[in-house]
Amino acid sequence: MMIIMNMEATSKQIEAVVGRVHSLGFESHTSQGEERTIIGIVGNNPLAARDQFVLMDGVDRIVPISRPYKLASREFIQENSTVPLDGVQIGGDGVVIIAGPCAVEDRSLLLENALAIKEAGGHALRGGAFKPRSSPYAFQGLGEKGLEMLAEVREITGLPVVTEAMSPEQVPIIARYADMIQIGARNMQNFYLLHAVGESQHPVLLKRGLSSTIEDLLMAAEYILSHGNRHVVLCERGIRTFETSTRNTTDINAIPVLKSLTHLPVILDPSHSTGQWQYVTAVARAGIAAGADGLIIEVHPRPEEALSDGAQSLKPERFAELVRQVRGIAEAVGRTLPPNKDA
Amino acid sequence: MMIIMNMEATSKQIEAVVGRVHSLGFESHTSQGEERTIIGIVGNNPLAARDQFVLMDGVDRIVPISRPYKLASREFIQENSTVPLDGVQIGGDGVVIIAGPCAVEDRSLLLENALAIKEAGGHALRGGAFKPRSSPYAFQGLGEKGLEMLAEVREITGLPVVTEAMSPEQVPIIARYADMIQIGARNMQNFYLLHAVGESQHPVLLKRGLSSTIEDLLMAAEYILSHGNRHVVLCERGIRTFETSTRNTTDINAIPVLKSLTHLPVILDPSHSTGQWQYVTAVARAGIAAGADGLIIEVHPRPEEALSDGAQSLKPERFAELVRQVRGIAEAVGRTLPPNKDA
Amino acid sequence: MMIIMNMEATSKQIEAVVGRVHSLGFESHTSQGEERTIIGIVGNNPLAARDQFVLMDGVDRIVPISRPYKLASREFIQENSTVPLDGVQIGGDGVVIIAGPCAVEDRSLLLENALAIKEAGGHALRGGAFKPRSSPYAFQGLGEKGLEMLAEVREITGLPVVTEAMSPEQVPIIARYADMIQIGARNMQNFYLLHAVGESQHPVLLKRGLSSTIEDLLMAAEYILSHGNRHVVLCERGIRTFETSTRNTTDINAIPVLKSLTHLPVILDPSHSTGQWQYVTAVARAGIAAGADGLIIEVHPRPEEALSDGAQSLKPERFAELVRQVRGIAEAVGRTLPPNKDA
Amino acid sequence: MMIIMNMEATSKQIEAVVGRVHSLGFESHTSQGEERTIIGIVGNNPLAARDQFVLMDGVDRIVPISRPYKLASREFIQENSTVPLDGVQIGGDGVVIIAGPCAVEDRSLLLENALAIKEAGGHALRGGAFKPRSSPYAFQGLGEKGLEMLAEVREITGLPVVTEAMSPEQVPIIARYADMIQIGARNMQNFYLLHAVGESQHPVLLKRGLSSTIEDLLMAAEYILSHGNRHVVLCERGIRTFETSTRNTTDINAIPVLKSLTHLPVILDPSHSTGQWQYVTAVARAGIAAGADGLIIEVHPRPEEALSDGAQSLKPERFAELVRQVRGIAEAVGRTLPPNKDA
């Protein structure tokens, strides 16, 4: 961290800043330019003390030198981390595809869907039992009953299950039923929930908030990692911009940026990042081409009857075509689509 | 709601849509244009069924006619609602000013702050005991101990207290200690939390999420209202945009827009919406000039020592000047600054 | 400017950077931290050479210390500049109101409008003769005929005229007919046009582009100033964000931020920044309360017949009410509404 | 277009709206719902008359049914259009790669660059002679001398040339020297420039403005098409969002969205859309995977000495690797990289 003094700063003000640096246990090195003085601060996480300097007399501004996250950074762990999902590894050479309905609605529909997904080559089943909905009048999910259906279908198909936790107290029950706990975009900064999954040791799928910067996402991952859980997969799912012709804007840059900043696996959710099934396959291909470690896709046997997100759900036959095309892209970038569990 | 068929829709497809409209218990009226057919749907909340139509063959798109919220709308309640805050009314003729530190840090500092706020004319004390922080390494608040300090200081100064709840289970304890429960920007779509404060009957201060549309904010209010709590105050606190010279962008348009769409009181938080104390007073004046019913302001006796948000906190003497200036603006728009509780 | 080396930078890489600093005629001072070396650069506008360093081996990133504009900055000129508009001064104690139709459509309509604006207390007449329209099929303005109408109406009413130039070759003719040349939001980075008005010495109204940062706006002003024209008024007119309930988002923060960064006058255009007449008066009040030096407002005697921007135009009687309310706000912040020219 | 009346609209108000519809030469069909009346308007481009209705008494809002562009739309021309670039076709089966320096700086450097680009498989040479720069103090390009260098290098290498026009009067001279005229992002709504290239019949590369919606881009293309030039290539080059870890946000969704809305070819500029050479190749792959018809890439033999945009320029050997990787992606989506002119 560097403290940049303003041009009129007096030597007394500079001394006061240096004094506080030392009183907080940091070391300083002062560099006296022609126009201004700059004070560098060295020590353990000086950024956490940034607020202590920003308002001191004579201070113009603070420039962070290091990044505010550690455990999530490439400097901390240089090789790619992998996260296990019941036998499949996310973050290795293979590209992993998670698919399923937005919400679990009905046991037989879910089974039909899961069988089709498995047939097409999907590696895991997604489906919401607890649903965050922006309207209090919309379908809110089946709750624990939905979890039971997911577990039953896993039993039959062998596909591991990914489902969302919306509050800390749901974490144990979801950990019991599911193989991976999803933190949704709206809860990316629900810090109690991050804390809870951080302590659970269960694999976590952390979705980027729709107005979160890449640094915000890595700080949310840092919450989980700092509570002891190393199994975090990051998910780009579109950000909110001025463009209205799609539901969100897929930040495809985020894929290579994240891969350079962090060792954690990164997947893409083109269903939410576009919001329209017509564009899902093209953006799924783009995600893998950009270096993503996997995809999470909404699939529904009869999207026009889905209780939520029908517009962005693929029919099973279109999903099968997506898998076929994504396999081609994966191979073009030197990766594979691993076989799914039973096959 | 209207369903706009595409230009190539067949009469069979149109019949199928009309059939589903009726099977869901709605009425339809079909209007046959030269180029396309448009099907209007009438009934109770047809928007909730929107997903059932969007993917039917021949459907181009859905156009909502009514707004998705009801209880929060001006059509539902035409006069301004007021929300009581221990004797002060928010949403009436008077402009209400809530002030205090970002986080409760220390009992004597809090008391010193509260006395200065009261002296300056502030109406209520804010201060966080539970703090959402984007870094796991930053100060997370004093928890229940902080609540106790707030209650003690209220005892001494008479100022009612506003503090944030971060999870449903905190709601009862915060309701016991505080006069108004704040829902922070990051939790605006934490639906369980909205549900919990909706059932509590305690006055609620609902802050707009940093990438939430005005409609998203009103839907979050609708969650609270639909669970039986009528005492909701909305708070504009800045949105995230491309502009980086301030922490957030104050959406000043949101003030008159909200006042036209809803009967609920609307206040402004210029501390968060600018992020720099230098701009807080100017934007506070703007908020009242635009029609806001009040302000929430960060004040700290020694901002340079604050454990969070020091850069945007006003010193007490600057806060006193803000109150003086805001009083002038309030009078210019035909409102007053009511006396605070004891005075 | 500071060059921050990365943690692995070798002493040879550091020497190479220092060597280039000197070869470009700058001085350097190197500060050796525990983790990294930081090289400060001193001299005349080192930022212009930034690209010469960013890719050198061992360089992590460049941190600018000074701002990239000079002539526009508060450091360069400390007192407020004022810009003359045929007798009225923009940027002094008085708040100046410019009003008129979006586009000049018809001589008698324009005269009727101007007389009403003058009667209400407006200080200048706006109206477009050359119109930038996003559709090639929309009304493109009357061209020079429109300029003639503006000049005639100025003759009769005494109101100075503000109108837009869309290309460098229009600058001389507009300078002949009008008292102030407007650069529209879409042309804020049309550098040839900035160059042309920079050489014209005519007062300029420079509107912020709808995705321009505050720094971009000041750089555009710098273009004009650097070509010798000191008479530049800046105009906030709303930025593009994700919010769709208004046409643009008024960046009210920009008013105090600009007033602190630059000596140039700053006005607000609430007609474009909201896009709906219902919100114009509230946001106009906010602008003056935030410290703006004036307003530019769309007024039309029969907005429902306007050929462009009818939805955001005030009727003359509503404009008169706006002037009355803005006068109250101006007085509350210690300013006045000066009399218009003839009165 | 549909006019939605508000719930309290009187039959007299409805009649007045219908009267104006007919007086403007359109036909109407009125649909009387339980709550409100909706008036559909049929005829030639009713949207152009939208402003005539929006302020009439009793009108709630206007809903457009058709899109505001025609010549650019897929409905107008169903097959993909192709645009010739001196022997190469953009928009056909082949994926076309345009590459070169940001700005032309020096003849021998340009030749060295062009030879390397050709060797690597690039199809055309880009390079700015007239440069839009946000600072008046930055390098503004070599002007006509730069055009001459481009022409000389084309003579030697056979690579067709793409360069930017910044004003209408530059169009003829650029058409003389170059094979394709680029309209830069900042000039996407410089309507006189669009008009000028529209009349020139020369192939045009139209870059999306950094805060332009997809519809804005198509309206800008419509300007060119409506003046008689059918040879328009669209270019996604990143939009401005809140994310700061890259220079812009690549809107990868725009690729499939544009391909579905328009018959015009669409290419991607990953150099500007990321702003950092480290991410260019990954995003280039993504663009072709998403369905783009080509790429435009900044290449410089010694980026660390470039006078502009060095940070986002690839060295020739990295560009050769990009071409190799993009070829693999092109083949995976069933396309090819055609041989360049001489080979």
Count interface pairs A-C at CB distance under 8 A.
48
Whose structure tokens read 């037989």?
A108
Q: How far is CA B226 from CA B217, B220, C184, in A?
A: 14, 10, 46
Q: What is the pLDDT of residues A277-333, one digit of tens each?
A: 999 999 999 999 999 999 999 999 988 777 777 788 999 999 999 999 999 999 999
Q: Is residue B29's pLDDT more than 90?
A: no
pLDDT in the model for residue A342: 64
Q: Radius of gyration of chain C from Cα atoms?
A: 23
pLDDT in the model for residue C231: 97
Contacts of D22 (CB under 8 A, 6+ apart): D28
Q: What is the pLDDT of residues D62-101, one digit of tens each?
A: 877 777 888 999 988 999 999 999 989 999 999 999 999 9
Contacts of A86 (CB under 8 A, 6+ apart): A124, A160, A179, A341
C226 to D186: CB separation less than 8 angstroms, yes or no: no
Question: Residue C113, class by beta-carbon neighbours within 10 Å (0-12 exposed, 13-18 middle, 19+ buried)?
Answer: buried
pLDDT in the model for residue A4: 85
Confidence of residue C342 (pLDDT cuts 50, 70, 90): low
End-to-end CA gap in chain C: 53
pLDDT in the model for residue A63: 79
pLDDT in the model for residue B53: 85
Residues in C whose CB is inside 8 Å of some CB of A read: 2, 4, 7, 27, 29, 31-36, 38, 40, 42, 63, 65-66, 75, 240-242, 244
Alpha-carbon gap, residue A189 to A267, rounded angstroms: 19
**Cβ(C98)–Cβ(C121) below 8 Å:** no
D256 residue type, one letter: P
Q: What is the pLDDT of residues B92-148, one digit of tens each?
A: 999 999 999 999 988 999 999 999 999 999 999 999 998 877 777 777 788 899 999
Q: Which of C243, C251, C286 sits opposite B289 (nearest CB)?
A: C286
Choice between A187 and D342, residue whose per-residue pLDDT is larger: A187
List chain B residues with CB under 8 Å of A307: 51
Alpha-carbon gap, residue C294 to C149, rounded angstroms: 25
**Cβ(B295)–Cβ(B98) below 8 Å:** yes
Structure tokens at B1: 């709601």
Region A37-58: mean pLDDT is: 79
- The DSSP result for A266-312, as a single string, is EEE-HHHHH-SHHHHHHHHHHHHHTT-SEEEEEB-SSGGG-SS-GGG
List chain B residues with CB under 8 Å of D26: none
Best mutation site among C191, C194, C210, C237 for testing chain D: the one with the most D CBs within 10 Å?
C191
Q: What is the pLDDT of residues B58-74, one digit of tens each?
A: 888 887 777 788 899 99
DSSP state of A49: G
Region B213-233: mean pLDDT is: 96
The total of other beta-carbon atoms located within 10 Å of residue A77's CB is 14
Report how far Cα D330 is from the mean position of its chain's Cα atoms. 21
C191 to D166: CB separation less than 8 angstroms, yes or no: yes
**How many alpha carbons fall within 13 Å on the CB side of residue A143?**
1
DSSP state of A242: S
Structure tokens at B287: 């908020």
Q: What is the pLDDT of residues A246-280, one digit of tens each?
A: 999 999 999 999 999 999 999 999 999 999 999 99
Structure tokens at C46: 């080192």
**Cβ(A267)–Cβ(A217) below 8 Å:** no
Chain C nearest-CA distance from A306, in A, is: 27
**Cβ(B279)–Cβ(C257) below 8 Å:** yes
B282 to C241: CB separation less than 8 angstroms, yes or no: no
Average pLDDT, chain A: 91
| Domains of chain B with CATH codes | 2-63 (3.30.70.1140), 83-332 (3.20.20.70)
Q: Is residue D123's pLDDT more than 80?
A: yes
Q: SS3 for D2?
A: strand
Question: Nearest 10 degrees: CA dihedral of C304, C310, C316, C319?
Answer: 140
Structure tokens at A71: 């455990």
End-to-end CA gap in chain B: 53
pLDDT in the model for residue B342: 64
Confidence of residue C134 (pLDDT cuts 50, 70, 90): confident
Alpha-carbon gap, residue D137 to D308, rounded angstroms: 12
Chain D nearest-CA distance from A283, in A, is: 6
CA dihedral (D298, D304, D306, D308) positive or negative? positive
Question: Nearest 10 degrees: CA dihedral of B285, B291, B294, B298?
Answer: -40
Q: Is residue A148's pLDDT more than 70?
A: yes
Q: SS3 for D156?
A: helix
Best mutation site among D3, D57, D62, D191 for testing chain C: the one with the most C CBs within 10 Å?
D191
Q: SS3 for A63?
A: strand
Whose structure tokens read 């190197």?
C30
Contacts of B297 (CB under 8 A, 6+ apart): B97, B98, B99, B122, B269, B270, B271, B280, B284, B314, B319, B322
CA dihedral (D144, D150, D156, D158) positive or negative? negative
B289: left (phi over 0), alpha (psi -120 to 50) or beta: alpha
pLDDT in the model for residue B311: 84
Structure tokens at A95: 């590209």
Confidence of residue D340 (pLDDT cuts 50, 70, 90): confident
Chain A nearest-CA distance from D132, in A, is: 24
List chain C residues with CB under 8 Å of A2: 2, 38, 63
- The DSSP result for C45-92, as a single string, is -GGGGGGGTTTSTTEEEEE--S-S-STTBTTT--SPP-EEETTEEETS
Question: Judging by DSSP bridges, how do beta strands A2-5 and A59-63 pair with one another?
Answer: antiparallel
Least confident of A2-6, A172-176, B92-96: A2-6
D245 to A213: CB separation less than 8 angstroms, yes or no: yes
Cα three-residue angle D146-D152-D155, rounded to 5 degrees: 145
Whose structure tokens read 């309640």?
B77
Whose structure tokens read 């007394």?
A12
Q: What is the pLDDT of residues D297-330, one digit of tens each?
A: 999 998 887 777 778 899 999 999 999 999 999 9
Q: What is the pLDDT of residues D141-182, one digit of tens each?
A: 888 999 999 999 999 999 999 999 999 999 999 999 999 999
Beta bridge partners, A163, equal A181
Report how far Cα B342 is from the mean position of its chain's Cα atoms. 28
pLDDT in the model for residue B305: 78
Long-range (24+ apart) CB contacts under 8 A made by D47-50 are D47/D1, D48/C135, D48/C137, D48/C138, D49/D24, D50/D1
Q: Is residue C192's pLDDT more than 80?
A: yes
Alpha-carbon gap, residue A322 to A320, rounded angstroms: 5
Nearest CA in chain C to B287: C286
Q: What is the pLDDT of residues A79-133, one digit of tens each?
A: 999 999 998 999 999 999 999 999 998 999 999 999 999 999 999 999 999 887 7
Region A186-196: mean pLDDT is: 93
pLDDT in the model for residue C41: 82
Alpha-carbon gap, residue D187 to D177, rounded angstroms: 20
DSSP E strand boundaries for C74-201: 83-85, 88-90, 96-100, 124-126, 161-164, 180-183
A144: left (phi over 0), alpha (psi -120 to 50) or beta: alpha
Contacts of D176 (CB under 8 A, 6+ apart): none
D214 to A245: CB separation less than 8 angstroms, yes or no: yes
Alpha-carbon gap, residue A129 to D162, rounded angstroms: 54
Q: Which of B36, B66, B240 sits opposite D65 (nearest CB)?
A: B36
List chain C residues with CB under 8 Å of A27: 34
ipTM attached to this prediction: 0.91
Q: Is residue C311's pLDDT more than 70?
A: yes
Alpha-carbon gap, residue C132 to C141, rounded angstroms: 8
Name subunits touching D (3+ CB pairs < 8 A). A, B, C
Region D112-128: mean pLDDT is: 96
Structure tokens at B186: 């990051």
Average pLDDT, chain D: 91
Chain C nearest-CA distance from A6, in A, is: 10
Percent of all residues in chain C with a pLDDT value above 90, rounded to a whole number: 70
Closest to A54 (Cα-Cα) out of D163, B309, C48, C253: B309
Q: Is residue D34's pLDDT more than 70?
A: no
Region A34-46: mean pLDDT is: 76
Q: What is the pLDDT of residues B247-284, one digit of tens each?
A: 999 999 999 999 999 999 999 999 999 999 999 999 99
Count interface pairs B-D at CB distance under 8 A.
48
Q: Is residue C253's pLDDT more than 60?
A: yes
Beta bridge partners, B157, equal none
B168 to A166: CB separation less than 8 angstroms, yes or no: no
Nearest CA in chain A to D282: A290
pLDDT in the model for residue C34: 66
Region C13-30: mean pLDDT is: 87
Q: SS3 for D41?
A: strand
B192 to A68: CB separation less than 8 angstroms, yes or no: no
**Cβ(D341)–Cβ(D160) below 8 Å:** yes
List chain A residues with CB under 8 Å of C27: 34
Structure tokens at D211: 């805060």
Closest to A258 (Cα-Cα) out of B306, D246, B287: D246
Q: Which of B243, B253, B278 sits opposite C260 (nearest CB)?
A: B278
Question: Nearest 10 degrees: CA dihedral of D178, D179, D184, D189?
Answer: 110
**Cβ(D192)–Cβ(C166) below 8 Å:** yes
- The DSSP result for B311-338, as a single string, is GGPBPHHHHHHHHHHHHHHHHHTT-B--
Nearest CA in chain A to B132: A191
D135 to C187: CB separation less than 8 angstroms, yes or no: no
pLDDT in the model for residue A34: 65
CA dihedral (B280, B285, B289, B291) positive or negative? positive
Q: Is residue D342's pLDDT more than 80?
A: no
Q: Is residue A236's pLDDT more than 70?
A: yes
B25 residue type, one letter: G
Q: How far is CA D94 from CA B35, D234, D235, D320, in A?
A: 37, 16, 16, 18
Average pLDDT, chain C: 91
Structure tokens at D101: 């320096």
Percent of all residues in chain C with a pLDDT value above 70, rounded to a whole number: 99
